[in-house]
Amino acid sequence: MTGRLYGVGLGPGDPELVTVKAARLIGAADVVAFHAAQHGRSVARALAAPYLREGQVEELLVYPVTTETTDHPGGYQGAIDEFYEAAAARLAAHLDAGRDVVVLAEGDPFFYGSYMHMHKRLAHRYPTEVVPGVTSVSGAAAVLGRPLVERDEVLTVLPGTLPAEELAEWLATTDSAAVMKLGRTFRNVRDAFEEAGVLDRAYYVERATTDRQRVAPLADVDPDTVPYFSLALLPSELTPVQAPNPEPVSAPNPAEVGEVVVVGLGPGQRSWTTPETAEALARADDLVGYGPYLDRVPANPRQVRHPSDNRVEAERAAAALRLAQTGRRVAVVSSGDPGVFAMAAAVLEVAAQPEFADVEVRVLPGLTAAQAVASRVGAPLGHDFCVLSLSDVLKPWDVVLDRLRHAAAADLVIALYNPRSRARPHQLAEARDLLLEVRKPETVVVVGRDVGGPEESVTVTTLDAFAPETVDMRCLVLIGSTQTRVTPAGAVYTSRRYPGG
């Protein structure tokens, strides 16, 4: 039994215009394929992201050329035909193995869509279904608020790649028209509307139905601001001419700047990564982070990974911000929560420099290691607690001890991050000795190692029995307060009620 091929339309850009059937098929597919230019970013993949699931194979089909300039011996057509044959062969391998394949298409798969080239090469060999989508023409008319045709009027859809003279002939003889494939063809298209005598009633619609849409009279548009995802509309003459609704209009930004999103994966298993973080990771063009943390993010051939050492936080942050200045969507990856001894502070500190004033930085929360370890034994953080790092890389060791002494005297539960490393083998023992000066020997101590990971272990002990030499940087240590207890069943909790309260 072979797999089934689906050509799935996603609509013009608004995620809510993806049909129920399209969403269902995307989520059920074994393989999801999508096209992209050389930069690797796929509009279709971004639209489908909310419906993808863990474990799906993603096939990124990157066009070898996007203009007719190529050194391929067969010219542009030879290069593009070769690409389509190779892409079809990749999908056929999945279909032959019994995997269902969904090919994503912006708009409608059979309306100037890339999917049709896969359909022509595969539909006669495999069970195939095409799921229609809302076209960009329909989306643009809706945004413009003008009917395309009424009664007996004729709508003509034209590619902007036609010669200006031919376009003008069509425009002069039709009632209504939509001209696709703008971008570098825009000047010729506008000249054709003017030659046909209909420029005064033509409109320009860019990225229809998205949060970046733009609507304007065609005659007023600067050709240097026109992207490929735009079209020219000649609406029905039977509807009185009116100005476009100004609400969806947004100014273009030719020098568009991307963004940096700092995310936390949580401390271990993938189920501890929040849906918000998973979505940000799926949308990213570039992933920046400490190598072992990046290894926890599922591979995606569309994305570029930038691993680095754990001691170059400022350099890593600057690299992410510079990528965003080129228009890239960058995810800076941390373990746990990015705002707790992680990359969020580093990125914001570097972003405060004047050279990065134009870059937006967002921080998404994550499950912390302290929360994860606490959950494994019960509720040791059930009352007031503090979080301290024992690392003295960025602050003096005497400051660490002074803070630890005050936290212990305040009878707070203490979560110790970065407890012991090969470069700092003695400091945790010093910290334990200091705590024993203030806390009773029977104070509850919890040591969690690799919690949520394959080598997870959790130990409940006491402050006098605690062995610092068993701890490494993969551990988190919780020091209980005077109100932290261990139940007969072995659960640990800190009472919400404090004596005298």
CATH of residue 9's domain is 3.40.1010.10
Residues 130 and 141 in one domain: no
Residues 44 and 112 in one domain: yes
Where does a domain end: 347, 363, 379?
A: 363
Structural domain of 19: 5-134
Running DSSP on this structure, what letter comes out for residue 418? S
Could you tell me if residue 333 is inside a domain?
yes
Residues 79 and 121 in one domain: yes
Could you tell me if residue 355 is inside a domain?
yes
Could you tell me if residue 70 is inside a domain?
yes
SS3 label, residue 140: helix
Q: Is 382 within 8 Å of 375 (Cβ atoms)?
A: no
CA 117 to chain centre: 28
Q: What percent of the chain is helix, strand and coil (3-state, nearest 5)?
A: 35, 25, 45
| Distance (Å, whole) CA 82 – CA 24 | 32
Phi–psi pair at 231, nearest 5 degrees? -155, 165
Could you tell me if residue 252 is inside a domain?
no
SS3 label, residue 293: helix
Hunting for tokens 């261990």 — which residue is that? 486
pLDDT at 70: 66
Query: Buried b / exposed e across 128-140, counting CB within 10 Å, b at 16+?
Result: bebbbbbbbbbbb
Hunting for tokens 């936080």 — which residue is that? 313
End-to-end CA gap in the chain: 70
**The tokens of 149 are what?**
């045709």
Residues 294 and 180 in one domain: no
Q: Is 414 within 8 Å of 479 (Cβ atoms)?
A: yes
Could you tell me if residue 251 is inside a domain?
no
| Residue 453 CB neighbours (<10 A) | 13
Could you tell me if residue 254 is inside a domain?
no
Residues 78 and 44 in one domain: yes
pLDDT at 122: 97
Q: Is 279 within 8 Å of 243 (Cβ atoms)?
A: no
Burial label for 480, CB within 10 Å (0-12, 13-18, 19+), is buried
Phi–psi pair at 275, nearest 5 degrees? -55, -35
Running DSSP on this structure, what letter comes out for residue 337? -
Name the residue among 84, 34, 94, 43 with its Cα closest to residue 64: 84
Residues 225 and 276 in one domain: no
Could you tell me if residue 417 is inside a domain?
yes
**Count helices and strands in the chain by DSSP H and E runs:** 14, 23
Where does a domain end: 337, 363, 389?
A: 363
pLDDT at 270: 78
**The tokens of 388 are what?**
């301290």
| Residue 215 CB neighbours (<10 A) | 22
Could you tell me if residue 253 is inside a domain?
no
Determine the residue type at 160.
G
- The string of DSSP codes covering 32-89 is EEEEE-TT---HHHHHHGGG--TT-EEEEEE-S-SSS----TTHHHHHHHHHHHHHHH
Phi–psi pair at 31, nearest 5 degrees? -130, 135
Written as tens digits, the pLDDT of the chain (501 aa) is 899 999 999 999 998 999 999 999 999 999 999 998 877 778 899 899 999 998 899 998 988 876 656 667 777 778 888 999 999 999 999 999 999 999 999 999 999 988 999 999 999 999 999 999 999 999 999 998 888 898 899 999 999 999 999 999 999 999 999 999 898 899 999 999 999 999 999 999 999 998 888 999 999 999 988 988 899 999 988 765 544 444 443 333 434 568 999 999 988 777 788 888 888 888 889 999 998 899 888 877 778 999 988 778 899 999 999 999 998 999 999 999 999 988 999 999 999 999 999 899 999 999 999 999 999 999 999 999 999 999 888 899 999 999 999 999 999 999 999 998 888 888 999 999 999 999 999 999 999 999 988 889 999 999 999 999 999 888 999 999 999 999 999 999 999 988 877
CATH value at residue 425: 3.30.950.10
Residues 117 and 19 in one domain: yes
Name the residue among 89, 81, 36, 84 with its Cα closest to residue 60: 36
Where does a domain end: 86, 112, 134?
A: 134
pLDDT at 248: 42
CA distances from 500 to 248, 299, 497 (A): 60, 55, 9
Please, which residues have CB within 8 angstroms of residue 8's CB and are 6 or more apart in sequence?
Answer: 22, 25, 26, 102, 103, 104, 105, 109, 131, 133
Residues 174 and 227 in one domain: yes
Its pTM stands at: 0.50
CA distances from 67 to 38, 113, 185, 195 (A): 11, 17, 11, 26
Residues 321 and 226 in one domain: no
